[in-house]
Chains A and B, each alone.
Chain A
Amino acid sequence: GAVVSQHPSWVICKSGTSVKIECRSLDFQATTMFWYRQFPKQSLMLMATSNEGSKATYEQGVEKDKFLINHASLTLSTLTVTSAHPEDSSFYICSAREIGFVETQYFGPGTRLLVL
């Protein structure tokens, strides 16, 4: 089956630093990848949609300059949380949609970010 990986699985950083999270589709090519954020006891919230080779589309209320998304290849998208603050601490999850198969999205295992 389609596998999506994320790295790192967890990260602790100091307030004010930047953190990069990688999302890879391991056995398929993905023109579109999605980034979600999940706070404790809440559902997943879509942050942005990224298409390979173009700028990401951000959901309302998500700061594009704070959450930088790069989708440079068909198998890799990165999310950089810039100048992280404690309120950015969350569970970040990516998903990918396989080329030609728009029906199903596959999700990564998530990255837990803790900002001190």
Chain B
Amino acid sequence: DAKTTQPPSMDCAEGRAANLPCNHSTISGNEYVYWYRQIHSQGPQYIIHGLKNNETNEMASLIITEDRKSSTLILPHATLRDTAVYYCIVRLNNDMRFGAGTRLTVKP
């Protein structure tokens, strides 16, 4: 699986959009981009995934660049409950392997 690079931490003001970047420059053509988050002392929560096209669901939007070498997870209106570690994972068909992720802190 391709490796990913994420900033270790980010802050966001409550009510504003949180944009979390992820670099995956070695991604191959059939590998998906997944985003999970982990709130303190809980199991990871699935957020969204995509292959080539941008995706949106009730939680977030995923923007994948045309060359697929990077992506951005967008939380449109961050709340205090969105404070968590966000993991960007690239995989094909096998298991999910987690990097260090980005610790997002939403501040009032």
Pair B100/A106 contact, Cβ less than 8 Å: no
How far is B99's CA from A104's CA once the two chains are assembled, in angstroms? 17
Give the chain B neighbours of A102 by CB distance below 8 A. Answer: 93
Give the chain B neighbours of A103 by CB distance below 8 A. Answer: 32, 49
Give the chain A neighbours of B42 by CB distance below 8 A. Answer: 109-110
1/0 per position for A32-47, CB-CB distance to B under 8 A?
0010100000011110
Pair A95/B93 contact, Cβ less than 8 Å: no
Interface assignment of A67: CB less than 8 Å from any CB of chain B: no
How far is B34's CA from A34's CA once the two chains are assembled, in angstroms? 17
Across the interface, name the chain A residue whose C-beta is closest to B45. Answer: A107
Which of B43, B46, B49, B87 is within 8 Å of A93, CB to CB? B43
Interface assignment of A49: CB less than 8 Å from any CB of chain B: yes
Give the shortest distance, in Å, between A107 (CB) and chain B (any CB).
4
Interface assignment of B21: CB less than 8 Å from any CB of chain A: no
User: What are 20 residue pairs bridging A and B, where the CB atoms are less than 8 Å apart in the complex?
Assistant: A34-B95, A36-B98, A43-B87, A43-B99, A43-B100, A44-B38, A44-B98, A46-B96, A46-B97, A91-B41, A93-B44, A95-B43, A95-B44, A104-B46, A104-B49, A105-B96, A107-B43, A107-B44, A109-B42, A110-B41
Interface residues of A, Cβ cutoff 8 Å to B: 4, 6, 34, 36, 43-46, 49, 91, 93, 95, 102-110, 112
